[in-house]
Amino acid sequence: MTAPPATHDTPIATDAAVGPILYFDGNCAFCARSVRFLLARDHRRRTLRFAPRAGVAGRALEARHPGLAEVSSLLWVEQAGTQERVITHSTAALMAARYLGGVWGTLGTLGLLVPRPMRDAVYGVIARNRHRFAGRGEACVIFRPDEVARVLE
């Protein structure tokens, strides 16, 4: 089975002033740690929002983009006016790194220079083994009170 394209542009009603949204597996300790990693390093913009894929916002996204139901990946969603751009797999992870800026942004930009099939192959290995890599740990993200406004359910 081939993966759908990395981006999808679909008209939706959005607020162009809001930042990107990272949709993640809410039942995955590796994903929870990734979200905590991003929150701990987002010192500049603080506009990145988070949503579990199985939550209300995640199901609404999949309703707008039915092909995403078959995609096992982080989803990076950018909104500009009435356009929604969904980015998947390694590109989504690298966009999150770029968002952080600094050394992480540089690493994300450099990562995008690697051909996508190679990046996605590595991403696929990590994604398939993420539960094993995370070990035993908290699978859900506990957001602090100052972070709750950045979470979509």
Averaged over 110-116, what is the pLDDT?
Answer: 98
The whole-number pLDDT of residue 32 equals 84
Is 140 a member of any domain? no
pLDDT digits (tens, 9 = 90+) for 45-89: 789 999 999 999 999 999 999 999 899 899 999 988 888 999 999
Global pTM reads: 0.83
Torsion on CA atoms 147, 149, 152, 153, rounded to nearest 10? 90
The whole-number pLDDT of residue 65 equals 94
CATH number of the domain that residue 119 is part of: 3.40.30
55: containing domain: 9-134
As a whole number of angstroms, the distance between CA 141 and CA 144 comes to 9
Tally of structural domains, the chain = 1
Question: Please, which pLDDT band fits residue 138 given cuts at 50, 70 and 90?
Answer: low
More confident residue, 19 or 4: 19
